[in-house]
Structure formats: C-alpha cells, structure tokens
Structure 1
C-alpha cells in the first residue's frame, strides 16, 4: 500500500474535474485521479453545445436563461443556483474561447449560437439562439481544451486509478453524528489498474467529479464506464443522494442502440415524424414543437409508439427527418451524428429519415451540494473538505429535467467553483488523521471477489438489472412497475453477494473492477426506484401514469435518500436521515443489512413562482 499526500485530490478527469484542477492547482498542491485516460472521459461525447446569453446572434439575457432553466426543471430547480449558472455562463464560454476552444463563428467572426430545446426569448415568446457550439463535437473540444491547459499548468494526473472508498472521520452510514460535531474528509482509497496495488491519497479537500450512472439502464447514451462510482461511494458512507428518481431520457437515441443523436439536429431544423409522416410535436408543444424540453419530447415519442403510430416493421420507433436540409448545411453543422446514422443503422440522412427512440441520458440527481460546491450531509450542514461538481452532484440547477446544453455549462461553472472552494479550504485546514488501516475494507472486498472459486457472473447480474430498469423505470412508471423493479433489485443484491470473476490476476484486472462497478450500479438503481415509488406525482423526467399531475402541495421538495442502520426493534424507522427529524417524506425501505430512509429538503425560491408548464 502506498500513501500519497496532497492538499486537494480531485476524483474524475472529465470536464468538471479538469476545470476544478485548473483553479486548484494554481493555488495548492493538487492531484487528479481518473479511472480513464482524461481525454476518454464522457464529457467528450457531448455534442450539441454550451449555452450562454451572449446575444451574439439575437437578443438575449441571463435572466431569460434563468427562467428557462427553472421552468425547464419543472420548478424543482434551486433558483439561487440557476441564477449563478446563468450569470456566470458568459464568462465560462469566454474563458474557454481564450483557452483556444474552436467555436463555430458567425460571418462577423463572433461565436455562433443555435437554438436548443426549452431555451426561449422573453419567457417563452419563441425559441432563442443561445447554444455556443463547435459543430456537433462541443464536448470533445471542451475536453481536449481543458486537458491541454492542465498539461500546460503541470497538473498531476493518476490515470487508470479506480477510487473505491471515501475516507471521512465519521461514518454517517453507521448512525447519527453526535450533536455539535462536524464531519471532515480525510482522503480516498484507490486501486491502480496496472499493478493491482492499493493507494491511499490523504487530502485536506476532496472533489468528486465522477460523472453519471446511465449504465443502470440497458438503453443508454452513456459509456460503459458511467457506473455511478462517486454517488455510490458517498451513499455507502451515509452521505445522502438528492433527487435520484429524476433521470433524463434523451429523445433521439438511435433506435435499438441508444447511441445519441444530438438535439442540435432539431436545433438546425430536423423534424420528428411518426409512421404517418405527421410532425406530431405540433400536438404536444404547439409553440416550440420539436424544441420542447427533453422530458416532454421523450414522452411524446413514447406515446406515439404506444398508440400505434410508431414506424418500422415492429412500430417501435419514430423518425428524425433531416431530408429537407441542405447536405452542405448538414455536413457543416452535424458531421458526427449523421455519420453515426450511416455507420450503425445503414441510413443515409441526406435522403432517409433516421429511426430514433428515447435513451437514458442524464442523472438530474446526485450528491447534494450548495452553490460553493460543498457537499451536504443533511439539509443544511456541510462535510468539511468535501466538494462535488458535474453530473455526480446535485446543486440543483436542473431540478426534475435538464435543458440541453446546461450540462456542459454546469461542469464549467461549478467545476470552477469547486476548484476555488477546495483550494480555499485547504489553505487553512489541517490534515485529518487517517484510520489505522485505511484500505482494509477495500482490500478485503477485492480479495473476496477475486479469490472466490465460482459464483454468479457479473454480466448476468448487470444484464438482469439493466433490463428490469428499462422495462419498469424508464419514461413511464407506475407503482406496479416500480415495485417489480425494487423486487428485482433486492434479488440481484443477494445474487451479487456470491459474484465471482474469471480473471484471478492482480494486474490489469478489468474483470474485477467491473464486479466492483456492478455493486455501485445496484446501489444507484435502488435509490432511483425507491425515490420514484415515494414521489406520487409526475414532474419533469419522472412520470407516474398512476399520478399523472404535478403535485406542488405534496412534493415541491427535494428527495434526500440516506443509507442508515436497521432499526433495533426490527420495525421500519420512519422519518428522514441525519438532520431531518420531522420525517417530511416519512418513508423507508428495508434491505438485508441496512435501510434506505427518505428525507427531504426545501426548494430554494427567489423570483419565479411555480406555474403550469406549457410550451
């Protein structure tokens, strides 16, 4: 076991992690730990753009952007966070331009902007051009630009190191912290892929920037590596996860595959059609049609299929029509996604509509933070020295539904804030003493799986989990479907206890690490399903067919999911977790050796009161 010591340790080298590293590394000694080579991080898959009210193409302002974000999130957005993001968006784009990011340009040489779903002028009057883009490779360009800057600034990277434990001086999952005591981070434990060696990173500040958890679903735009690592590590330590029931299903995944075709296609004029050739979004969102927010478009598409207007031999998808656009325009603005259609479906977008269907895309929930990126351990109290940014975090700027292009903005605005906050804390803080054997839990768990002679196969359990989540917890949900998903998850958790791997080696053992990641996926799936069961309303990406209306009186609040010990009397313990003695959601679910307890947190309102969400 090797022990390293840094002022700040950043877990994850995607957009949020590297943006944090650029700020932190100029102030204090910083390390970035990534299970991937940084330029392979999933930020590179983002296509459409990064929004900011630059007004380079037409009138716009940050207040309209804030309103659209709040309305798009179905009023579950914390409005102070949305204001910060919209205000700082302009500088975030200009920062990237100064770093060398090759944005598309207008004829006058300004950064070009295009329309995206839910972004409007004057509080809904019409769609507005707000998305700054680099063809349909914006995320790739951001990732490359940030990595080049990190190399220039000599940021220290530990690539292909898997962080498998988060070290804090109180294990919240073991019970409540004594009143008046603070909880402080002390570092992380990581596994080095190349050697199989365990490394402990002692740190004053830790920044979680590990991305999302889309692989809980079978049909997803997410890479194989997006297994919810950071969320699960926090959850296992008793840190709550916020609003996990809200998962975004991007409307235009390649049918049957889930590979993403960017919303930029519709921003450039592509049209969704059913089997009858009808532009059906005119019925669901008469004002902005195909550029309605993603949750509305995804449900509309799924509804067309359910009502028999799906296309194809099995009538199980709809069509994205680009055939009316000039080929030169397609080549200039959408080169990658049209090539995907040719490569994976054998469809020529110049002359044929592309088969599409919703795909699991983005987790609106995550590790709760405030606007300074500090992680919360309950409704109000922070964990000293622990920060989070990007998809792993819930600040909450996306509420129950994220607007397109707000994710690339989120990682830059709050990645920057996380780096600044982590460094500022580290300057004055002291190192916390590590446990006597900080890697004991990780080492024992890995060896148990690696040396087990036979047992359940990782791929079998993962497939069963993903198929159940696709069937029971996707675009449309009911009590019956979610109950079935929860039963499946409980059964799979028991099977996971006997999981084994074929590769028994200690070096480059990806088989072993996939087994660990499967445990993370099961953890995240249970928080999604239990939260969805309890939220008896429909809001944003969460649609309950048995409760089809939004219920502001009962559910205008964030869900906080806590992992806690089983009650000693053998009965369910009602009420919330640490800091939620009122039990505002009053729900818990008992598993074999712990319980998942739901608490809540109020939504921060500033200037926008909830209203009916129309487009």
Structure 2
C-alpha cells in the first residue's frame, strides 16, 4: 500500500521470469525506506537527516538516540525504519488522518538552508503532505522502496540457475539488469545511492557481453509457436472474461495483505496467514473481469496484465519470507530476532514450477582483496 515506486512498477520482470520457470533469489529482502510521506509514500531523502534533520515521536522525543546512540538519525535505513515502527507499535506514534507516523523536523535549519539545499523536499511536502517544512515537521512512515532480490545473475548480466549438484549454471540467452537482477552486491540491505551499480556498472557490463555473444553466435533464435500461444492464452483469459470480479478490488486486497503481513516487521503466524490469504486472492484473480474491450490505448488491459505480475511477485515474496527463519538485513522477524549464520548465511531460491524453496551458497572466497567475516552492526 505504501511505496515510493510509481503506479506502473508492478514486478513485471519478476513476473516474466516466474512464468518462464526461472527461479528468483532472495525475494524476502525488500528495503523499506524510513521516511516516506505518510499517506502518499513519496520518498523524503535521507539527505534531510544528513543536513541535520531529525525524527520525533508524539512526545517530541528524538527517539533514534535510544536505538542508535552513535549514528542516531543517520543509522542504516532498516534500523531507522524498524525504530519508527517500534515507536508506533508501542503507542508513541503521532496521530493523523493517514494513521500513526513519525515527524521529520527540519524547521530549525532555517528557510535559507532548506530553500538552497532541499528545494525538492519543500515542494514534495507542500504538495503531498500539505505542510511547509520551514514551519512544521513532515509526517513520515516507512515505505516499500527497493527489491534486493530478483533473477540471480553474473556480473555480465547472464541469468543463473542451480543444477542438481548445487552448481551455478548460466541460462543461455537470458540476461537481466537493474533492480530485477540479483547480482547480490547489496546483500540483504542496499546502501543509499548504490543502485547505480545495478544500472550503470552492470548495465554496461551486460551490454558489452551481449554485443560479444551476438557477434559470436551470428543469429538470434526466433520465438517458438508455443511461446506465442502462451502469451496469447494469457491475453485471451482477460479478454474473454466479462462476468468476474473487479480487478481493482483484487489489487487492493493484495496490497493490504502484503502491507499487514510482510512489511517492516514479520512474524511466522502472521506470514502463514498472509500466505493463505494470497492463495485465495490468486484464485479470485483467475476469474477477474476486463470491462474495457477496446483495442487502442486500453490502460485497463495493461493494468490487468500487470496485476498478474504483482500477484506472482507477492507470492514469491511470501513463500521466501516464510522460509528464512532468522533476521538479516531488511528481513526482520519478531519470532526469530537474531541473525543465524550457521544455518542462513546463504541465498534463498524460489522455484516457480513447484512453488518451493531451495538454497544457493554465498561465495565467501576472497578475490582481489581478503574477505572479512560479517559482523553484527552497532550504531
């Protein structure tokens, strides 16, 4: 329900991969940015806190001093997001028409600083929160921001799977870059700004490798007749159903299920309940209807096809989150609050054909520089 992403960001890359039978990796790892505008989800950059802004609860307390005594409001995104949610769960959240939230205080920085250093935030706050940060704090709440998981790939963008011996195997002809790809340089929690690696560094590497591959092979394989039939069958399912359920209601139910059961904090019983809810929603989706039958600029048809992808992405996330019985990075469980390197220092793989989970080893071998063991973070 609360996300920094645009309406058109609907997990289409993951959905395409899952329909093709490609396993996806670490789908339980979703980053929640701590400061989305409450009620809108629009991102309020951590640059605000970098300039000296800080978070307050309903008592006017700078609560981050309690959770991260050294880093305070500049702690990692997952730490700040969890801290805000703890304040809300324990009754110290601020009240408002959009529900409990925290306040991001910037007015002490002064109008001149805000207009010169954070002009975009002033505009966003006035537009979406209807507050002027020069005079009053911004209402914020953790909001879904970034997917650390996706299609496992090499640094060249080549998609990977795992054979029966547990070895990585390249899937011929399939490449993935950007947020859909899980090269896994981010591990379980991406640092701010580092998604440029996905786009610029690995995007270029994949392009160069593709150029070499096409030059060597000389010809691209045509789509088979069954490929075309599969795509048309999916399209016809929507075109031919006129009496089913409204897809808007199904999308809303899907978003509510994920927000309530697979958000910043997770817990086994709630996630198991959420997974059962998703199974019911999945069945409802099979009988959803398409009202707009036009063949030109049919945005409802596009949104219905996107809803298929949202459903499969959500289901893979739910199964993966239930599977990992520890807390690591952005995956935080109340019932398993500690990190468990002995059992879970690994990637998870969701297998779409069987809707089951397997594991993939983390490469801990040193490369150009000596590796160092992961340590518990303190702030």
TM-score normalised according to structure 2 size: 0.94
Q: Distance in 2 between matches of 1:438 and 1:547?
A: 43
2:128 to 326, 344, 348: 344
SS of the residue 1:250 aligns to = strand
SS of the residue 1:558 aligns to = strand
Counterpart position of 2:230: 441
2:112 to 325, 328, 335: 328
1:226 to 2, 5, 9: 9
Please state how far the C-alpha of 1:313 moved relative to its aligned partner: 4.8
1:560-613 CA-partner distances (Å, limit 9, x unpaired): 11112xxxxxxxxxxxxxxxxxxxxxxxxxxxxxx2121111112231201111
2:179 to 363, 371, 391: 391
Please state how far the C-alpha of 1:535 moved relative to its aligned partner: 0.5
Q: Greater CA deviation, 545-554 or 399-408? A: 399-408
Q: Distance in 1 between matches of 2:363 and 2:226?
A: 41
Counterpart position of 1:478: 267
Counterpart position of 1:527: 316
1:129-170 CA-partner distances (Å, limit 9, x unpaired): xxxxxxxxxxxxxxxxxxxxxxxxxxxxxxxxxxxxxxxxxx
Verify the 8 A CA contact 1:229 1:520 in the aligned structure 2. Answer: yes
The reply to whether residue 282 of structure 1 matches residue 65 of structure 2 is yes
Please state how far the C-alpha of 1:319 moved relative to its aligned partner: 0.7
Superposition RMSD on alpha carbons, in Å? 1.4
Q: Distance in 2 between matches of 1:386 and 1:468?
A: 32
Counterpart position of 1:179: none
1:418 to 199, 206, 211: 206
Please state how far the C-alpha of 1:551 moved relative to its aligned partner: 0.6
SS of the residue 1:324 aligns to = helix
User: Which ranges in structure 2 are unaligned for 5 or more consecutive residues?
Assistant: none
Verify the 8 A CA contact 1:375 1:387 in the aligned structure 2. Answer: yes
Q: Distance in 1 between matches of 2:47 and 2:178?
A: 21
1:30-55 CA-partner distances (Å, limit 9, x unpaired): xxxxxxxxxxxxxxxxxxxxxxxxxx
Please state how far the C-alpha of 1:408 moved relative to its aligned partner: 2.7
1:552 to 309, 317, 341: 341
1:514 to 303, 315, 323: 303
Distance 1:442 1:433, change over 3 A: closer
Counterpart position of 1:305: 88
Verify the 8 A CA contact 2:181 2:198 in the aligned structure 1. Answer: no
Verify the 8 A CA contact 1:385 1:426 in the aligned structure 2. Answer: no
SS of the residue 1:414 aligns to = helix
Distance 1:292 1:485, change over 3 A: same
Counterpart position of 2:156: 372
Verify the 8 A CA contact 1:559 1:598 in the aligned structure 2. Answer: yes
SS of the residue 1:439 aligns to = helix
Q: Distance in 1 between matches of 2:135 and 2:223?
A: 63
Counterpart position of 1:242: 25
Question: Which of the pair is proportionally richer in strand?
Answer: 1
The reply to whether residue 600 of structure 1 matches residue 331 of structure 2 is no
The reply to whether residue 362 of structure 1 matches residue 146 of structure 2 is yes
Please state how far the C-alpha of 1:333 moved relative to its aligned partner: 2.0
Q: Distance in 2 between matches of 1:611 and 1:491?
A: 41
Please state how far the C-alpha of 1:444 moved relative to its aligned partner: 2.3
The reply to whether residue 498 of structure 1 matches residue 257 of structure 2 is no
Q: Distance in 2 between matches of 1:495 and 1:308?
A: 36
Q: Distance in 1 between matches of 2:172 and 2:161?
A: 10
Verify the 8 A CA contact 2:152 2:182 in the aligned structure 1. Answer: yes
Verify the 8 A CA contact 1:372 1:421 in the aligned structure 2. Answer: yes
Q: Map of 1:86-105 to 2, 5 A cutoff? A: none
Counterpart position of 1:51: none
Q: Map of 1:430-469 to 2, 5 A cutoff? A: 430-436=219-225, 438-469=227-258
Q: Map of 1:143-154 to 2, 5 A cutoff? A: none
Verify the 8 A CA contact 1:451 1:504 in the aligned structure 2. Answer: no
